[in-house]
Structure 1
């Protein structure tokens, strides 16, 4: 036999490795060293990267009602956007003066098509620009909606104005942008500066001028317009007239010419510098307004290294800040990632230790050491491939490494166990190593590829959920293929040097093979397997009954999309009625701040008034700017403190703040969902939609597992005062509706008439009335309005009428849509509660008018999208598995038999999930799909062993029993390694349910492989009980 070929002359990779040990050692050492180096360079993040396929289009139309905005802006833009090929759906809201549209691409759209789609969106909206109202501002496009702020800091100081904080923040931003890895720096809670020109109604009346005249005069004085160029023989000379405002004194000294008279602006109006009034948003920390500074990382960066660089830079900057000015870190992804990675690395270390112990105890020290040495080599090779394929370390890839640890030793155990058996039977090391390759390499390869194929639907799934979990396939495939290569190259070489040869007894002939299966245990095992084959129909019947029971029991398993995160933050959403002012929202936020003071569980808390928190966490369900909304981000000291705080805070909010809507929630895993239970009611008429939504809400409240049932928008609640102009009287006085609107706009909220330029900043110059004329609607009619015929009381031009209008109109695909949403109580799962409520809605659905519908949203909808994308790829997985099995077994009957064993793992899955009360979620579903591959892997190796025995002349009954007995030790050892290695994952919220399911499934599959599969094989191929020798089946030549 050639050193690189087996006894039949075929190439043998294990024999080749033994022949070229120096080269193999060099290559393995090189790969291991590069793998260790690659591991130190792997990008680290909290969550796997996935693409947000959402763009936000925002448009402002000052003075318009929500209905006008909906009809003339939102609907027109939405109609055009529906022509975009990649669109999934539009979700929009229209508020007084504001339109906002969320354009969501199809989940199946390739990532490379996202930039092109955003270009198409901008182009299509630009094409209809001339059909939108002339006075709109925008539309503005935000295609960075999914950007995550790796670090958020607060800048605050007693005695420092908002403008001073902004100037210091600009200096900090300049420095931070130079830090390697920083992409951009944004501000939060940074109010815009304004210069207010306040003139009383009495002054306007005395001077006989209108707000429009005054605004035009100020604007013309401050305008920048071309003044011409002097062209000489040699050059050009630009002419620049002065007159633009350079400071507040210059503005006050401005001469205003109206109706042939000149006025100094400072003599007729009060000029002051200030900020947004009323405020728009505010970020608060420790009960004070602060300026937030958010840092985002460049794509593909290492968040840990960025965190270290930012920490060093912030320490340096803090030392150079003026006295009293303080920087504080309120959100740090690097620290969260470091904790997450450390936790998972601890789990990896525990899993490695478990596998080592299993190998050493079950195989013996020398045999176990062969497996032990291979583990770091395979892990290093996996890290090297992860680096080459740009797969970073995050919760999904690290959890998959733990999962793979129990599987990557399977091939090593099979190979070394086969080699050890042959050595115990008296073979020499070289022959034993070569035989291990000949008998197991290709069945192992088929089994490995079948297992990898089990993860294939994850890799091919065209959805954000599939994108989020894709590294489960990538890491598993790399680790398992690397483990097979180690099993056929490294393991034989290690076994050659570490495994002992059995000393041949003097009385034994040279060709004698020692029977290692003659022990009492193996005799009993042989008897049990023989009994199963003899009473095959009983075994099959029991198995079928257990399978049917497990299918029925599966309906009792709680269903889940993704579990909540292990991060210590709690979110508190505060929502006041539509129409509530920013000041009212701020007062409620301050009350909650007081309630949280001194709580020992809290590390720190920050709140955002008038808007939601910026995206400090990738799957955050981000809330945008709304004056009646505030959001708290409370960081507890630990997970235990988070839960303790939640138990105290939930009733506190409910009892002490009954007049406002509050929601306490934890951060989510997976794509953002929001409320776990959601039903959308859509139709053309808002009143009808609201009536249906009320019935849906009543049904939801009747369910004992729902809590905090809410609508995403309320009844008409925006208080408005309509001034109905008497057109006849207005014409007599020579005024128009525009003149009235301009007068009211200046009197109430003011409007921008010019811009003041200060270095690189443009500051709005706003004309308005003093505060005492802006806060009492009852005084409006007594105000004198200038007209060409002289000033007259506003009341002579019309009358006031109080009214209510919608503060917001939500739509989905251009139809008014109300989402009825709720949280769940206790340990109830959103998917289960949603399905329970949905069944109760059947009667309401049957009575819906034509064109109206109730749709499921929330976790059920997102889970269905993910499952649909996975199921769509299942045929490819099935084809791949069948092809691999056919190549190996080359028999339709045997392939079908192996495939039929796969679903039986559900027996153990259902039993363990019910026993431990774990939900069956999306990640668990992926694990179960992969488990089918693991089961078929063991089955194909056993079936192949049976076929080998039959081909060597064993009677069929003996071949079934003998092959199963010989496969017992490697099957049970690999199962033990796989199951026990999953123990560290039980602590993980994310992987815990999958680990539980796999532990039960693999355990039951092991039993089925050893006892059910022999019975199935005997039944399938009609093996008779008399097809055996009188001697024990696994003796002598049974070592094959």
Structure 2
């Protein structure tokens, strides 16, 4: 049965469907989860392997190489990168993008097996590799626990209370506390006293280990009960270590450890990371949420729990929120919903103006029902409200009424011609249901390359395709059922006495008169028309070459970051002091001349906890620090960015800086990156120096640096084998003495309730901080049972320069020269790359050396290729559906010839508004192809109807074009105007411009070019007379 007849004659069923869709949609909307960005799996793992005492070259060759070879055997692995520094190998493993979150645990298990299998190839002294695979954890609720008057231990104790309470909240996955330095027990042993007593340091260390150990003393059977035996003797307090007897064997003198050593508990003087909050000592508390939860609701629950905890906090401790994803998501979603409401209102107003009050209200109701129906399915399959899914709804808005416009227009025309409502509804649905179904499928397939892409692009933008699939499918259903039902209720039957199938009375008015005149000229001078269009198209292609190219625009969040690199080798505490000076400077600036500063969070030693998906924390460097600066508004931030960038470089020139905004998409290390591959570090540094000069000479670039950093000083005591043998000193003994004196050596573990602290033996401060004391350092000779000065076992003390970092990529050494466009300028990564590319590629490379471009160029190219790989199949499917609809290749070609014409409008719009061509613009172009083909299908279907009615071919093409003006223009107009609210959103700006201008130009040209192309391809001659209604 005809769908329209069924819905009209079964009113109860139709009303039930309407009510269920309305109520179900409202309820489902209230249950939808909310996120800032779609959930996304970061397909990275980090393999960290310590090799204490090894040089970067030894780490590279003895640890990284065998591990990289084992990892590279995995077919799932896309890329292996390693950073080799003194005593530490850090290997980053990136998996092919088609391995989603469900398959990653299996991949990481295989990685662990590969690493374990290769351990036998590693030299002795290499510690067990640690595999970190939880990079996808996003700590979207990030806080700082501040208390300058409290010790780190006291702050850590209170943070444990917070962690235990927060982890119990439904929807909280993990609570991480960072920034607390390692607690340790230090035993400072005086070299002079040791020498005077002739005590072997290793004997003292062994005594400590033997005393402070958990061992099994067994059980005693007493009657029928076995009673456990646990002798005392373990250290319950640090002070008890002073009473440890360390007299030499066979010595009658009692010597206590406290006699020769100072013993105390402290924090490590070389912590891995240090946190500040506006210059105050802080711990970072990050809360990661479970997948699929409503971020807004869980964040509110966290805030409520924190309010309870703050009421009980120690006086002087404060909690400052760095990033509350829930609050940001709530603002973002609210803004999007306002945009959505505005778009709906715009569409309805347009319909009311151009279709009349009844038709406008009718289609507005159908639009709302379609959106509510979409919410039902989104809730059922777990699609959340985030910027991509909400953007998809706004993109779909105009398209959602396309089918309803065609049906309503057909019914109105039928009624005007004197037919009944039922007859008009039946006829238009019979005529258009399959063409509209095919056009809807084509509109959906236009987004298939995104949604069906097996890689990261498909995962990130997958909800775009799913939402459009759901909403457009529902729109076809409501157009075939609910739309004719509403038309039947709102309109009256036509008057049969005045029935007239002529278009003369139906298509009157200024718009139709002007269009007829233009169409008549275009069709009569069709070759000239086509040449003119081809000229416009070539002009547009040339114009696209002048459009700014970006990958993803920056975020609207008023937070920016300042990366700071001091000279490689700088002590972490020196870096800490340097960052404190900058913090104080910025806070003073804000106090004297307010800049809109809200907060500064500083991390020294590595990046902060990942608080948003696009944030890439830096790996560990003692010379690195990062300031996360929150401003009160986007305007304040934009005004301050160039100021702080210039101020830092002029007032603190001893460091390298990168001032950057938060990005919406992937964030490479730099916008522009030139990689040089080769074997010789000297040659690689020479190539990097040449490339750096090119970058520095370009005024449009800043933040120029390379990732091998500066070379660092290395002290090389020349070990004299002959003298050492005579003195009974081994190299290991010398290394141990040097380590103990200058850094400290772990000699045991101290237990304090659940805390395990290393016991560190080292020299007093006055002995270990004096470089000149190295020669006077005493080394114990077990063979001669005495101390020997270091000067007796080394022939000289030399120094040399070494590479502190050796970078590798896919098992080859690589050095990356990095740079960025000048901040807050009109320059983009693409424009800067064009300026320096030829100069960089002109650098002569020795044999065996290669150049490769990375940065935004690489990430953008990867994303475009991932879509491009799916495009041919998607467009082929769309074309085949078009052929199947009309059983004609030539008619399909006529329709598809109009798709490239959108480029005329796109080029004009982007240039006129100075908008960049971004990844989102590519999505807009894909959606345009579906919209244009859909409009073409409506027009060609009408031509076939006119031909079937027996009209001459030329007249049929002409009349069909006139009759489709209103539905085609209305569909385009509703889509274009519905996009207006997105023009104020930087993330969707380029996509909105692409659709608005592309569809606008393409629609006008479609109504001209398609009829002209049709008459050319089908060789329809131009009659000598004018068309009947001209």
Structures share fold, TM-score greater than 0.5 = yes
In structure 2, the residue matched to 1:1038 is none
**Aligned-partner Cα distance in 1 for 2:595–2:226:** 71
Measure, in 1, the Cα distance between the counterparts of 2:779 and 2:132: 42
C-alpha distance in 1 between matches for 2:462 and 2:1025: 49
Write the distance in 2 (CA, Å) between the matches of 1:417 and 1:594: 68
Q: How do residues 370-769 of structure 1 correspond to structure 2 at under 5 angstroms?
A: 370-502=362-494, 508=498, 515-519=505-509, 521-597=511-587, 598=590, 599-717=594-712, 719-769=713-763
Q: Report SS of the residue matched to 1:108.
A: coil
5+ residue gaps, structure 1: 1-10, 1034-1040
C-alpha RMSD of the superposition:
1.9
- Is the 1:734–1:789 contact (alpha carbons within 8 Å) kept by the matching residues of 2? no
1:842 matched to which residue of 2? 841
CA separation in 1, counterparts of 2:436 and 2:995? 21
* Counterpart Cα distance in 2 of 1:350 and 1:106: 41
| Cα separation, partners in 2 of 1:252 and 1:1028, compared to 1, 3 Å | farther
Deviation readout 1:805-830 (Å, 9 max, x if unpaired): 22221111222211111110212111
* Counterparts of 1:206 and 1:704, CA distance in 2: 66
Contact 2:343–2:981 (8 Å) recurs in 1: yes
1:571 offset after TM fit, Å?
A: 0.4
Please give the alpha-carbon distance, in whole angstroms, between the structure 2 residues aligned to 1:226 and 1:84.
Answer: 44
Any conservation in 1 of the 2:729–2:779 contact (CA below 8 Å)? no
Write out per-residue CA displacement over residues 86-108 of structure 1, whole angstroms, 9 at most, x where no aligned residue.
11111111111211111111223
State the partner residue of 2:790.
Answer: 794
Is this contact kept in 1: 2:97–2:454, CA < 8 A?
yes
DSSP 3-state at the match of 1:198: strand
Per mean C-alpha deviation after superposition, the further-off stretch among 430-439 and 174-183 is: 430-439
Match of 2:802 in 1: 805
**Cα separation, partners in 2 of 1:699 and 1:659, compared to 1, 3 Å:** same
Corresponding position of 1:973: 970
Partner SS, residue 1018 of structure 1: helix
| CA distance, structure 2, for counterparts of residue 869 and residue 543 of structure 1 | 31
Worse-superposed segment, 702-711 or 617-626: 702-711
Q: How does 1:19-58 map to 2 (within 5 A)?
A: 19-58=9-48
What SS does the corresponding residue of 2:255 show, helix, strand or coil? Answer: strand
Moved more, 980-989 or 457-466: 457-466
Aligned equivalent of 1:1005, options 985, 1002, 1006: 1002
Residues in 1 aligned to 2:311 and 2:6: alpha-carbon distance in whole angstroms: 64
Within 5 Å, give how 1:29-428 maps onto structure 2. 29-229=19-219, 237-261=227-251, 262-428=254-420
Mapped to 2, the partners of 1:211 and 1:424 lie a distance apart of 107
Alpha-carbon displacement from aligned partner over 1:578-624 (angstroms, at most 9, x marks no partner): 11111221122012101211243111111001111110111112202
**Whole-Å Cα distance in 2 between the matches of residues 520 and 551 of structure 1?**
34
The one of 851, 854, 866 aligned to 1:869: 866
Over 3 Å counting, the alpha-carbon distance change for 1:572 and 1:509 in structure 2 is: closer
Indicate the SS of the match to 2:136: coil
How big is each residue's C-alpha offset from its partner over 1:170-211, in whole Å with a ceiling of 9 and x where there is no partner? Answer: 111111111111111111111110000111111111121233
Verify the 8 A CA contact 1:108 1:463 in the aligned structure 2. yes
1:512, CA displacement in angstroms? 9.2
Contact 2:417 2:500 (8 Å CA) reproduced:
no
Residues 958 and 1027, structure 1, Cα contact 8 Å, conserved in 2: no
**Alignment-derived partner of residue 771 in structure 2:** 777
Tell me the distance in 2 between the aligned counterparts of 1:791 and 1:513: 113
Aligned match of 1:1037: none
CA distance in 2, matches of 1:732, 1:463: 65
SS of equivalent to 1:841: helix
Q: Which residue of 2 aligns with 1:891?
A: 888
Say whether the 8 Å CA contact 2:449–2:871 is kept in structure 1.
yes
Equivalent-residue separation in structure 1 for 2:106 and 2:836 (angstroms): 40
Structure 2 residue aligned with 1:830: 829
User: Structure 2 stretches of 5 or more lacking a match?
Assistant: none
Structure 2 SS opposite 1:1008:
helix
Gap change, CA 1:652 and 1:519, over 3 Å in 2: closer
1:982-1017 residue CA offsets vs partner (Å, 9 max, x unmatched): 111111111101111111110111112211111111
Q: Distance in 2 between matches of 1:39 and 1:13?
A: 28
Distance, in Å, in 2 between the alignment partners of 1:114 and 1:384 is 30
Aligned-partner Cα distance in 1 for 2:533–2:658: 48
Does the aligned pair in 2 maintain the 1:466–1:866 contact within 8 Å?
no
Superposed counterparts of 1:913-952, under 5 Å: 913-952=910-949
Find the aligned partners of 1:576 and 1:701 in 2 and give their Cα distance: 19
Residue equivalent to 1:3 = none
Task: State the shift of 1:977 in Å.
Answer: 0.8
- Aligned-pair distance for 1:268? 2.0
What secondary structure does 2:129 align onto?
A: strand
Q: Once the 2 structures are TM-superposed, how far is the Cα of residue 500 of structure 1 from its aligned partner?
A: 4.0
CA spacing shift, 1:837–1:234, aligned 2, 3 Å: farther
1:502 offset after TM fit, Å? 4.6
Indicate the larger mover: 125-134 or 1009-1018. Answer: 125-134
For 1:147 and 1:200, the matched residues in 2 are separated by 47
Please say if residues 212 and 739 of structure 1, whose CA atoms lie closer than 8 Å, have aligned partners that are also in contact: no
Q: Partner of 1:853 in structure 2?
A: 850
Q: Which moved more, 1:246-255 or 1:870-879?
A: 246-255
DSSP-derived class of the 1:186 partner: strand
Moved more, 831-840 or 211-220: 831-840
- Residues matched between the structures, number: 1018
SS in 1 for 2:347: helix
Separation in 1, partners of 2:511, 2:153: 83
Calculate the TM-score normalised by the size of structure 1. 0.95
Hey, what does 1:990 align to over in structure 2? 987
Q: Deviations over 1:205-226 (max 9, x none)?
A: 1121233222122112212334
Q: CA deviation at 1:1028?
A: 7.6
Looking at structure 1, the residues matched to 499 and 291 of structure 2 have their Cα atoms a distance apart, in angstroms, of 69
CA gap 1:359/1:511 in 2 versus in 1, 3 angstroms: closer
